[in-house]
Structure 1
Amino acid sequence: MSELGARASGQGRIFQTSGDQYIEEHHHHYDAGAGGPLFGRHVVPPAGAGPTAPDSVRMPLVGRPPGILRNREELREVLGAAVAGPGRAVHVVHGMGGCGKTALAYWLFNEAVREHGRVGFWVNASERMSLRAGMLAVAGDRGAAAGELAAAAAGQRAAADLVWHYLDHSADPWLLVLDNADDPTVLEGGAWLRSSDRGTVLVTTRHATSPLWRVPGVHRHALGVLPLEDAAQVLCDLAPDAGDLESARKVAERLGRLPLALTLAGSHLAHQLLESWSMDEYDRKLGEESTAIVDRGASGRGAGQSRQLVGRTWQLSLDALAEQGLPEATTLLRLLSFLAADPVPLSMLVPVARGEATLDGLEPVLRPEQLEPALKGLIDHSLAELVQVDGVRCMRAHGVLLDSVAGGVPEDRRASVADAAASLLEAALPEKGSDSPETRSRLALLAPHATRLLAVAADERTATLGVRVLRQVYESGDYAAALALAPTVVGAVRGILSAEHRLVLDAQHLQGTALFRMGRFAEAEALHREVLERRDALLGADDVDTLHSCAALSQSLDLLDRDEEAESWGRRALDGYRRMLGEDSTEALFIWCGLIELLPQLGREREFSEEGPALIEACERALGADHPTTVLARHDYAGGLFEFGRYEEAESLARPVLADRIRLQGPDHPLTLSATSLTARIAHGLGRIDEAIEIMKGLSERRARVLGHEHPFAAHDRAWVATWQAEARG
């Protein structure tokens, strides 16, 4: 090794030079599995598959488009001028929940598209997963190739840089709406929030004071409640037959002139069937003590006030639905309130409609035949809306409304509601171990609801569910999403259970594997060492989870240039797997691949020559020729033969490995690119310099396309070409 102490990340490439002529390359291939977060089934994205993304980012994620937009003239003029201008502006509209930020964004989106010919993009920024999926879909819309998107999804390329590269080079001017960015940390220090000469960015958020809003080029706009006359007119727009403008003023004032509360009230008045309240009667109902709600506190300025105002309207709507024979609407809305404000797939409710799911303890009981009428009742009263996400029909309610309803659930019923919500979510999760695009899409929809349950109903069941979702997100191959989700799950589970609980250690192990996948090897090593020490003491040296920690620590140490220590922990894992799970277990064979790769780095050719063929034979016998771990074993052995200068033997393995990689993972997969590099270097070692240059030139172009021209791996490819061309001339 050189004094740089460099190591390749993931399936990457590291170059070390002596003078300016000699270059060494080391390859490290690590993949995840279901037997443990790092072992077992080899998880790789399907050939040509990009990251999970919304079916469209060209349409606003608004189920029921706002009607007439009252007031806001001054701000509309400012924002309208921004989308009519040259771009490079970032506008942040902030205000309490329910004040109409999304309605304003919807108006601007249509203004930009219809009046100014801009391409409009709408991204849900409420969660890291939805933000990242939406932004990568924007990059795809602007011309990013499937290989580039897959590399960004797998952490091989900086996702935000890829997106903004394509936005900066867009042939069309654009408007990008980042809606519901109520937690600015999802923007990752501003990595996802940038300005561009080609477009305008609009952010809607409840958070008024984030440092991200205070940098040059960002314009902040506070959005408050409506003026009284406009608030009254909203009610008259929605329920013109319920009363005059004077009566509407009284109701509007009592509701604090909050647009969401006005919408709920107007929808209620417009959809009455058995009774026909006037606005004056509605005003009297709002004044009754029975309509007050319990306010459990709020996060964010103005949230408590908006929850109270909204609570005084939704209870009247639910009372009216109960009088119409739909008390189940209350049960359904309470169930939704224990889930996130993100879209909820209607398929989650199908087992209830079919009578296949029994949700014990709910009052009123959610009867199968009344589920659809209850849902329609919520939609008619604007308590919920229908939206389409990834081609999936979903329902969604406003976050302020859900907070208000959840806060009003009686204490003696909270456990029943939580259990029912957890049951629906558990049944909706994909099959364990699946890594298809459909699985990633479904997990992106369901993960926010698991974290919401952890927040509103903290117990061992929701903790188990949270860790299960984290594991499935990781096993789906979306490592960046898993790393974004992990701190929330780990913190919540540790708060529910003791720090030494097995489930807490599982969550931390998953966090460590996600850190490793994203190239943060020192952090991964420290976390895996901590978890290993606790598992060793709590579970014993031969527990399979303890062995998983040994193997994970070995891999992190390998990438930190600590070969002897890495081998020691890897051997312990291998011996333990063989003893506990069997010689031919997937876990044992996978960690054996990692040890075979270590031997050339340690200069132990004799052991390598004995173990390499034995590993390949064992994999083919136990797993089959096309199993990813079998291909990995052949790949690692070919790479080791090259390192020992045994070029002809290496070529006889490397070319079939490259063909397998192309067939199984596609031409642009990182493992395929690594196999291509090995083939080129072997050709060079055999003296076929022109052939090696041509292979490496093609690889350089593909690597730059997939990982970006500025990526170190792409730069290293160009260095190989330049070095070999100089050698050919000399």
Structure 2
Amino acid sequence: MSEARTPVRSTGKGAARQTVAISFAGFNRPWAAWIGDRLERRGLRVVYLRWDAPPDQSLTGLLRDLTLAGGRTLILVSEWYFQLGPRTHEEWNEALREVVAPDPDRFAAVSVTNTTVPSATAVLAPVDLTNMGAEEAERRLLDRLDVPLDTRISGDVTRPAPRFPASMPDVWGGVPRRNTRFTGREPLLNDAYHLLQNSEPGAGVLTLHGMSGVGKTQLAVEYAYRFGSEYDVVWWVGSEKRVSYRRLLAELAPQLGLSTGPEYGERLRAVRDSLRRGEPYSRWLLILDGADEPEQIWDLVPTGPGHVIITSRNPEWSEHNSKLLEVPVYARDESVAFIRRRAPRLTETDADQLAEALEDLPLLLDQTAGWLNDSDLSVEEYIGLLEGGIDQDVVKVSADFPLAFQTAWSILLNKLRETVPESVDLLRLCTFFAPGFIPVRLLKEMSHDDLPEQLAGLLDDPLLWNKAVNQLRQYSVVRLESHEGALDETAATGESIYLHRMVHQIVHKDMPESDRGEFIDVVRRALAEADPGRPTDTRNWDAYAEIVPHLKYADVLQSKDRKVQTMVLNCLRYMYFAGEYTSGVNLGARALRTWRRLLGESHPRVWEVTYHYANLLRSAGRFQETEALERAAVEHLREEKGESDLDHLRMAGGLAADLRELGRYDEALEMSQWLYAAYRELLGDQDSRTLNALNNIGYTVRLMGRYEEARGIDQRTLEARRLLLKGRHPWTLFSEVSYATDLRLLGRYAEAESAQAKNVREYRMVMGRDNQDTLRAEHNLAMCQLRGGDRAAAGTLLTRVLEGYERKLGDTHVLTLAAAVSQSCFAREHGDIDQAREASESVIARYEMLLPEGHPFVIGARANHALILRSVGEREHAYAVAEEALAGLTAALGESHPHTLGCAINASALRNLVGDAEAAADLSRATIARAAETLGRTHPLTLSARIAHAADLRALRDRQQAEKVEQEALSDLAATLGPQHTHTISARSRNRPYWDFEPQAS
């Protein structure tokens, strides 16, 4: 028969509830939280006692102190519990026999480990909770504490419960394997936890900052495992570069069940939106590792109900709404405990001396203690090497590094050379990749012909390769965890290794000059051979995202190898299509500068990189810089190669695009017409480049307000593309949007909506719902619906389009701003006027940042804002803004441009409001004449001017003429738009019409 156990009870007099004190190592906090929750829900009082065993305190005394909480003490048995101190198993056996054995009913235990623990633990009679489900684990727990299974569950059963520790969060990715040698840091972990838990929603961002090698990443890893049970999503993102950050964060999209297209820029924005809304998960933890340059990614850090942990050497994250928690070097007792676990042969005195010599830096302690444990060298002898090896000529690699680091590394490298010299060669090769995760499989996959002799054996012999990798791993020089969360078997092949930035720098600096040229050439070749060769194919984007971060470290721009240069150009093209504009501009600028010097000003590769760089600059909104760059290139190419050269024509096409973006429409049209003629002569009418040039003419003419002419050109382009490229080619679909837009601007609303609705269906099927061109088509459909009178459908679609653009292109792209303008105007008339005003002010600010003063889009946005000011009662202010906008549009576009005419309709109304009825009537009368000449007597804009003029005549008390003008306008409105159209009904009710500026972005 088994001996009866005393049930859980309170030993304190008058205690209202039974008490259980849970004693646990910090490493096992998830188990303590789960067990405590299970007990509290059954009415027990739980006291949490995180176990610590300072080496200067008696283990017996510490165990006796556990009983002071009253009730029963439940110990969570794990190797971590017994390693703190560290204490030997004999010490533990002695203490357990002395404290627990005489009064075993005061203690109970559960085991959450499968490793060997002190033999005297048997006195605790632990029950095993591993390798089973939550229900069975709870049954065993309650049975061990003699709590009946049928005990009524009390308290708030709806509150979130901690996850069963043996089960992972619903989404878990990229987190490195847990460091089983992790030591100390308890106060830091607790501070991090409370800072995040107590943060306001949307403000849960914490940066762990400190110098290189201090253990920031390891602290973040431990946080993820220790507190991961409190999250539904835990996702790790290497954040050294914006490109890799975007790609790795975007990989979360399918894990969250988000429906997106194949482009990771689109997936990234969907992820950020999902995290911000907390749908489908609100309890998420995102860890951004190695984010040393806040300016690279601060604008992409998600906000929402979850938490973000950033590891960085840079405390400037405090300027980007992040709390800071400095990670110092180890406290001395932590250093000693860590060294003795890493190198059991060392005594406590040895560990203390070593920690002092290495200044308690965790990375250095890890590497040094690892090989000292395998060496017969004493700590005193090692310290003697450190002290004797430093001379006055040694220059520290960085201010981040302790003084002893370079010498310590020299000793370690010598050890590596003596055992497996190829491991040093592999390490040096790795320094021509970016620090962090290094795809060394690219070295194995490349052609091994003509390799340097010292590397040929390493790369050709799998056994030697694995031996070199394992040697580096043994001394903690590299880690094998995969940043994509690969299985252990994959990581063990050494296809991707992790090299700390600190190690990367010191090894690179230590390398003999004779090796540099050969080693860097090998890495350049490996990167070039990994180039998929088709940067426009979204299926290749992951491969390019992996290559791009390493270009700088392999110094690829200095290579004259044609394959390497082609790779650089393909990477630039990829960055353009993937929306990596900032990184692409930086690479393009360096490439242009370097190749001009390396290859000469007129080398074909220089013109090629100029073209790609200009595209990226223009996409980043730096239109004036792009225009200056491309104008100089156009002039040089014309002189060198002649006007008919295809390189010259391509660059001239870019210059025409710059001029359009800058609002210089006359110059853009002249150049586009010349280009079209040149392409026709060289390539014929049916070449896609010729049709692209024709398309650009149509766009420019539309911007100039010549809508009928634009319609004719766009119709020709559309029909030709249907013949050449077929109906569902992206460029054919693009032309359909242009043609439908022309119809709408001409007032042919029904035709426009019919054509656009069909086009949107095609776009969604061919390109996906979230593609930027699909959104462009939907934006035009929403405007067709609005003009046709279906305000509800238009409002819903406008909201979707704006949100889609913001996710895909960001807040300052011209397409996003165009959608924001439409949304603001809609909100003014049919929504929240305060929201409309805020949106309008934001749009104007972004336009002013993006475009030069005097640009039609800037002026038009201000004209819209005047109407909002009118709506909130600020008449005088609205009048001044409207008059200034009218003068600006007249100067920029001419007095007969539809935008100028629309602004004049608004300005006449505001003149009337401020009491200048005569000036209002003069303006509306002149506007009718110009609009009739430009657009025709029955165009909706002309009809609006006629209705407005009737109102001005009534203000002048010329009722007879007002009635005549109004009746004629109403008759024409009914005939043109229909008697039940919203514009007709509104005019019949004598609601004065207003005009909304709409930027034609493409």
TM-score by length of 2: 0.56
Within the alignment, does 1:237 sit opposite 2:341 as a pair? yes
- Matched residue, 1:95: 210
SS of 2:481's partner is strand
Match of 2:545 among 425, 444, 465: 444
Q: CA deviation at 1:290?
A: 8.8
Code of the residue aligned with 1:205 in structure 2: it is: S
- Matched residue, 1:478: 578
Tell me the alpha carbon deviations over residues 594-623 of structure 1, each in whole angstroms, 9 at most, x when there is no partner: 222333444657865664454334434433
Q: Answer whether contact 2:764 2:774 (CA < 8 A) is retained.
A: yes
Within the alignment, does 1:113 sit opposite 2:228 as a pair? yes
Q: For the residues of structure 2 that align with 1:285 and 1:421, how far apart are their CA atoms?
A: 38
Larger gyration radius, structure 1 or structure 2? 2
Code of the residue aligned with 2:578 in structure 1: it is: D
SS of 1:396's partner is strand
Q: For the residues of structure 2 that align with 1:627 and 1:528, how far apart are their CA atoms?
A: 29
Distance 1:581 1:268, change over 3 A: farther
Matches of residues 554-703 of structure 1 in structure 2 within 5 Å? Answer: 554-579=656-681, 583-602=685-704, 608=710, 611-645=713-747, 653-679=755-781, 689=789, 692-693=790-791, 695-703=793-801
Q: CA deviation at 1:102?
A: 0.8
Identity %: 23
Q: CA deviation at 1:447?
A: 0.8
Q: CA deviation at 1:110?
A: 2.5
- Matched residue, 1:222: 326
Tell me the alpha carbon deviations over residues 222-266 of structure 1, each in whole angstroms, 9 at most, x when there is no partner: 3333344433432321232x4333334444444443211222233
Q: Answer whether contact 2:749 2:784 (CA < 8 A) is retained.
A: yes
- Matched residue, 1:308: 406
- Matched residue, 1:81: 194
Q: For the residues of structure 2 that align with 1:637 and 1:375, how far apart are their CA atoms?
A: 61
Within the alignment, does 1:246 sit opposite 2:339 as a pair? no
Q: For the residues of structure 1 that align with 2:181 and 2:235, how far apart are their CA atoms?
A: 22
Q: CA deviation at 1:277?
A: 3.4
Code of the residue aligned with 2:586 in structure 1: it is: P
Matches of residues 705-724 of structure 1 in structure 2 within 5 Å? Answer: 705-707=803-805, 713=819, 716=822, 719=825
SS of 2:368's partner is helix
Q: CA deviation at 1:451?
A: 1.9
SS of 2:553's partner is helix
- Matched residue, 1:178: 288
Q: CA deviation at 1:339?
A: 0.5
Tell me the alpha carbon deviations over residues 486-507 of structure 1, each in whole angstroms, 9 at most, x when there is no partner: 2145236525643836545544
- Matched residue, 1:128: 242
Q: For the residues of structure 2 that align with 1:294 and 1:541, how far apart are their CA atoms?
A: 60
- Matched residue, 2:139: none
Distance 1:387 1:306, change over 3 A: farther
Q: Answer whether contact 2:802 2:823 (CA < 8 A) is retained.
A: no
Deviates more, 1:441-450 or 1:128-137: 128-137
- Matched residue, 2:312: 205
Matches of residues 330-345 of structure 1 in structure 2 within 5 Å? Answer: 330-345=424-439
Code of the residue aligned with 2:568 in structure 1: it is: V
Q: CA deviation at 1:529?
A: 3.4
SS of 2:240's partner is coil
Code of the residue aligned with 1:104 in structure 2: it is: L
Q: For the residues of structure 2 that align with 1:420 and 1:634, how far apart are their CA atoms?
A: 49
Code of the residue aligned with 1:318 in structure 2: it is: L
Q: For the residues of structure 1 that align with 2:170 and 2:614, how far apart are their CA atoms?
A: 32
- Matched residue, 1:262: 365
Match of 2:299 among 172, 191, 197: 191
**Gapped regions of structure 1 (runs ≥ 5):** 1-55
Q: CA deviation at 1:344?
A: 2.5
- Matched residue, 1:165: 276
- Matched residue, 2:127: none
Distance 1:614 1:82, change over 3 A: closer
Distance 1:294 1:205, change over 3 A: farther
Code of the residue aligned with 1:235 in structure 2: it is: I
Matches of residues 23-38 of structure 1 in structure 2 within 5 Å? Answer: none
SS of 1:452's partner is coil
- Matched residue, 1:29: none
Distance 1:305 1:142, change over 3 A: farther
Distance 1:478 1:558, change over 3 A: same
Distance 1:121 1:99, change over 3 A: same
Q: Answer whether contact 1:307 1:401 (CA < 8 A) is retained.
A: no
Code of the residue aligned with 1:246 in structure 2: it is: T
Q: CA deviation at 1:425?
A: 0.7
Matches of residues 397-546 of structure 1 in structure 2 within 5 Å? Answer: 397-436=499-538, 438-454=539-555, 458-461=558-561, 464=565, 467-474=568-575, 477-479=577-579, 481-491=580-590, 494-495=593-594, 497-498=596-597, 500=601, 502=603, 503=605, 506-536=608-638, 540-546=642-648
- Equivalent pairs, count: 644
- Matched residue, 1:318: 416
Q: For the residues of structure 2 that align with 1:538 and 1:290, how far apart are their CA atoms?
A: 60
Q: Answer whether contact 1:486 1:510 (CA < 8 A) is retained.
A: no
RMSD of aligned residue pairs (Cα, Å): 4.2
Q: For the residues of structure 1 that align with 2:354 and 2:527, how far apart are their CA atoms?
A: 38
Q: CA deviation at 1:468?
A: 2.5
Tell me the alpha carbon deviations over residues 163-186 of structure 1, each in whole angstroms, 9 at most, x when there is no partner: 77336x886344443221122221
Q: For the residues of structure 2 that align with 1:306 and 1:677, how far apart are their CA atoms?
A: 62
Q: Answer whether contact 1:328 1:366 (CA < 8 A) is retained.
A: yes
Q: Answer whether contact 2:291 2:310 (CA < 8 A) is retained.
A: yes
Distance 1:361 1:625, change over 3 A: farther
Code of the residue aligned with 2:649 in structure 1: it is: L
Q: CA deviation at 1:704?
A: 4.8
Q: Answer whether contact 2:176 2:221 (CA < 8 A) is retained.
A: no
SS of 2:452's partner is coil
Code of the residue aligned with 1:103 in structure 2: it is: Q
